[in-house]
Structure 1
C-alpha cells in the first residue's frame, strides 16, 4: 500500500450546519467537539477532536476530505507520488493547518477537482469519549473514519488516480443496473474500503459517509427507537446487509444533504490471505446486498437532497 494510512476527517458546507448540534448526538450517538474558527459544528466519535466538520455555507458543498499519513516522512513521500502523477500538491499555510487541528497539511484535488488534503498529527486533547447516551463507541483507530463514497461521471478515472497517485488497493467491483455503471471499492488499510466510487452519468459529488459502531445494538437502537424504523421518512435505504464488506447498516439523509450510512460488522481484509488462490473477497458483478437495503425515494419536505 501507499503512504496514506486512513481516512481522517471530512468537511462540508451547509446552511443547516447548526442542526448537527442535536442531529448527530440524537441519531448517531456522537459527541460534539470544539467549534471551528468559523463556527463550524464538529462531530467527535473517538479520541480525535473531530471527524466531521460542518461549516456554515449558502449551499450543501464538499469542503475537503482529509487523508491521514503517520509521519512527516510519509507526507513527503506521498507528495512525491502525487507530483509524479501530476496532481500538484501544495503545502498549506500554517493558519489553515491550525484551523484543521493538524500539525502539517498538504492540499490537492482529485481528477474532477474535488478538494483533498493530506495531514499528519491531528489534535486529540478536547475531551475523552463521553457519548450523550450509552454507546459502545465507533470503529476507528488504525482504520480511521469509516469510508466516503463519491458519485463520479467516470469511475475508472477516479480509481486509476487513487491507485496510482495515492496508493490505494482494490477490494471489490460491483456492476450496477443502468443507467448506473460500475462501483469500485478501494482500501488503504484492513478496512474493506475507505473510499468508493459510484459511476453516475453527469454527476459529481459526495454521496455518503459511513460510520461504524462497535455494537449492532447501537445501530438497531438508532434505527428503530430514534428514527422509527422503516417508516422514517428521512431514510435513503432501509436496514440491510451488504455482500462486499458484510456491513449491517442503514442510510439516512443528513441535515447537510449527503447521506450517512450507520453500520456494524465491517469486513477486514488480510492482505496475506488476499494472495491465496482461494481468495473470495473480490467480487465483480455479484449482487450488492445479502438482504434489505431497499431504496426510499420520497424524503419528506424538510430533507434537502444533495446538490452536486
Structure 2
C-alpha cells in the first residue's frame, strides 16, 4: 500500500532565484548542483544532483514537491491508486523527466490541488559531496530530503488523503492555541516526519523545508557566526529543541519567501517499533518545545504561508 519511500526534492519559483547561488552555500554550507534548463539554481546536499530547485519567476510560488518511490513497478502501482483517488496523475514525457534529473516521473495533485510529483531513479552523477566550507554533511539516504510542512485550511482532510492515497503513517498530533488549529506529522520512513500540516482557516501553501545536519556544530556555526543569530531580521524562530521530533534547530526566511528549518538530531522511529501517534495539547499548558524556539516575528507573519 505504501509506495512513497521518502521526500526527494522541492521546486519553487522566485524573482530572487539568483541570490541562492551565494546565499545557500554561505548560510548552510550547501553545494550548487547543475543549473536547470531554465537557469534554475539547484542546491545539492548529498549524492543526488540536487534537492532544492529555485526557478526564475515573477513571484514566489511553489512549483512542485517530488516524492521518491524505489522502482518503476512501485510507480505504476501508485499511478493506479492516484487515478482512483482523482489526483489526475500524468506520466511525464522524456523532456520533463530529464529536466528533473530522473528516469521516470508522474505529476499529480494533492487534495488541495498542490503540485506533487512521484519519481524513481534520480540522477547522482554531477559531483561528489564537496561543501564550500568545512561541513559534516546532511542526513538523507533512506530518510530522503528532510521534511516539508504546509499550511492548510483543513488538517484532517490533508492527513486522511495522505494516509489513504500515499500511505503515510501519523507520528504526532499537536493541538495548538488559536488562531492555529491542529498540526499533524506524517512519516514514510524512520524519519519522524516527511510531511506535516498546520491548520490555519482559509490559508494554503508551503511553509518550510527542513535540512538536517550530521553535526550540531554546523547548526551552531550557521546560526551564530554566519546568520547573526537572534539579531537576523529574517529569523522566524530562535535556536531551540522540539518535544515532538526532538530536533535542535532554527527557522529562517529564505530569499524565495518560504522558510528553512536548519537542524540536527531529529528523532528516527524504527519501522519495527509499534508507536501510536502522540497527542500534545498545547492549549492546556503542554510545551511544544523542550527549550528555546522563541518566535521573533509577529503572529500573522509566523503563519503566513508561501503562495502555491
Q: Which residue of 2 aligns with 1:92?
A: 92
Q: Which residue of 1 aligns with 2:125?
A: 125
Q: Which residue of 1 aligns with 2:134?
A: 134
**How far apart are 1:230 and its partner, in Å?**
1.2
Contact kept, 8 Å, 1:241 with 1:247, in 2: the verdict is yes
Q: Which residue of 2 aligns with 1:110?
A: 110
Whole-angstrom CA distance in 1 between matches of 2:305 and 2:169? 31
Q: Which residue of 2 aligns with 1:283?
A: 279
Alignment TM-score, normalising by the size of structure 1:
0.94
Q: Which residue of 2 aligns with 1:301?
A: none
| Alpha-carbon displacement from aligned partner over 1:1-54 (angstroms, at most 9, x marks no partner) | 601100000000000000000000000000000000000000000000000000
Structure 2 SS opposite 1:159: helix
| Structure 2 unaligned regions, length at least 5 | 299-303
Contact kept, 8 Å, 2:102 with 2:123, in 1: the verdict is yes
**How far apart are 1:305 and its partner, in Å?**
8.4
Contact kept, 8 Å, 1:173 with 1:283, in 2: the verdict is yes
Contact kept, 8 Å, 1:174 with 1:287, in 2: the verdict is no
1:190 aligns with 2:190: yes
Structure 1 SS opposite 2:174: strand
Whole-angstrom CA distance in 2 between matches of 1:55 and 1:39? 7
Whole-angstrom CA distance in 2 between matches of 1:213 and 1:247? 10
**How far apart are 1:111 and its partner, in Å?**
1.0
Whole-angstrom CA distance in 2 between matches of 1:169 and 1:200? 22
1:28 aligns with 2:28: yes
| Structure 1 unaligned regions, length at least 5 | 299-303
| Alpha-carbon displacement from aligned partner over 1:105-149 (angstroms, at most 9, x marks no partner) | 001001111000000000000000000000000000011000000
Whole-angstrom CA distance in 1 between matches of 2:217 and 2:190? 24
Contact kept, 8 Å, 1:107 with 1:116, in 2: the verdict is yes
Q: Which residue of 2 aligns with 1:228?
A: 228
Q: Which residue of 1 aligns with 2:39?
A: 39
- Mean CA deviation greater in 286-295 or 229-238: 286-295
Q: Which runs of 4+ in 1 moved over 3 A?
A: 304-308
Map 1:1-308 → 2, pairs under 5 A: 2-275=2-275, 282-285=278-281, 286-297=286-297, 306-307=306-307
Alignment TM-score, normalising by the size of structure 2:
0.94
Whole-angstrom CA distance in 2 between matches of 1:58 and 1:287? 40
Whole-angstrom CA distance in 1 between matches of 2:228 and 2:190? 33
RMSD: 1.6
| Alpha-carbon displacement from aligned partner over 1:45-68 (angstroms, at most 9, x marks no partner) | 000000000000000000000000
Whole-angstrom CA distance in 2 between matches of 1:306 and 1:101? 25
Structure 2 SS opposite 1:274: coil
Whole-angstrom CA distance in 1 between matches of 2:24 and 2:288? 28
Whole-angstrom CA distance in 2 between matches of 1:157 and 1:28? 34
Contact kept, 8 Å, 1:150 with 1:198, in 2: the verdict is yes
**Number of equivalent positions:** 300
Contact kept, 8 Å, 2:203 with 2:305, in 1: the verdict is no
Contact kept, 8 Å, 1:7 with 1:68, in 2: the verdict is yes
Whole-angstrom CA distance in 2 between matches of 1:229 and 1:107? 39
**How far apart are 1:307 and its partner, in Å?**
4.3
Contact kept, 8 Å, 1:85 with 1:164, in 2: the verdict is no
| Alpha-carbon displacement from aligned partner over 1:76-119 (angstroms, at most 9, x marks no partner) | 11112222222221101111000000000001001111000000
Whole-angstrom CA distance in 1 between matches of 2:198 and 2:305? 17
Contact kept, 8 Å, 2:33 with 2:126, in 1: the verdict is yes
Q: Which residue of 1 aligns with 2:301?
A: none
Whole-angstrom CA distance in 1 between matches of 2:110 and 2:159? 10
Structure 2 SS opposite 1:283: strand
Contact kept, 8 Å, 1:32 with 1:43, in 2: the verdict is yes
**How far apart are 1:201 and its partner, in Å?**
1.1
